[in-house]
Amino acid sequence: MSGRLITLEGGEGAGKSTVLAHVQQQLAAAGVVPLLTREPGGTSAGEAIRQLLLDPAYRGLCAESELLLMFAARAQLVREVIRPALGAGRWVLSDRFTDASFAYQGGGRGQPIERIADLEHWAADDLRPDLTLLLDLPVAQGLARAGARGAADRIEQEQADFFERVRTAYRARAAAQPQRFRLIDASQPLSAVLQQVAAAIDAFLQRSLPA
């Protein structure tokens, strides 16, 4: 049996990293020990690209460079880590994936959706997640949480209207692909968020694992 790719998406401070640890435990308890990865990054070349993407020193990076760097890291991650793992029957849990490019580089930076779809096709080897949890919350709330975490990276330094466009693009994508996405209300207290997440993962396990 080939593995499954589950991705966590959402804006800054939505709770992706927090939720990821819980999903990992839930899957492991069901006998599925997932491989964890994150974007941008997840390989040694990809983590070097991540540094470049997030360093506020590169404030002048143009939208085209940003998009191509995101996909350069993703191309490597898909071929070096995710495809081999899925092929070996391993489940993969990723903190962000291609939906983030549609939201940030598409919605946020205005890069054409068709170009991003082309990149998804050839650079990301047409790999699509089996399940995507979108942690959705008001921009100000997410930024307040992320702000408490430490210094803002290059992308976190954007203005609120950028993050509003990112949120709108994420929500539109989730609405257009309801069979793959589960929209989670991440504005709630963590315990309530985790309950919604656990229910979504449980339902996915039910339909994925042999009875």
Ligand X SMILES: Nc1ncnc2c1ncn2[C@@H]1O[C@H](COP(=O)(O)OP(=O)(O)O)[C@@H](O)[C@H]1O
- Minimum distance, C-beta of residue 22 to ligand X, in the bound complex (Å): 10
Least separation, in Å, of the C-beta of 3 and Mg ion? 23
Q: What's the rounded Cα separation, in Å, for the pair 169 and 175?
A: 10
Residue type, 9: E
Say how many C-beta atoms besides its own lie within 10 A of residue 5's C-beta: 24
Q: Comparing C-alpha atoms, which of 47, 172, 55, 161 is closest to residue 102?
A: 172
73 contacts which partner out of Mg ion, ligand X, none, CB within 5 to 8 A by kind? none
Binding mask 139-178 for ligand X (x = CB under 6 A): ------xx-xx-----------------------------
Q: Taking contact as CB under 5 A, which single stretch among the options 9-17, 84-92, 127-135, 149-157 is the one that binds Mg ion?
A: 9-17
46 labeled binding residue: no
Distance CA 74, CA 41 (A): 8
Order of all β-strands in the sheet with 92-95: 35-38, 92-95, 5-10, 131-136, 181-185
Nearest to 170 by CA among 6, 4, 5, 8: 8
| Residue 190 found at the interface with ligand X (CB under 6 A) | yes
Interface characters, 105-144, with ligand X (x: CB under 6 A): ----------------------------------------
Positions at the binding site: 10-17
For binding to ligand X (CB under 6 A), which residues are involved?
Answer: 10, 12-18, 145-146, 148-149, 186, 188-190, 193
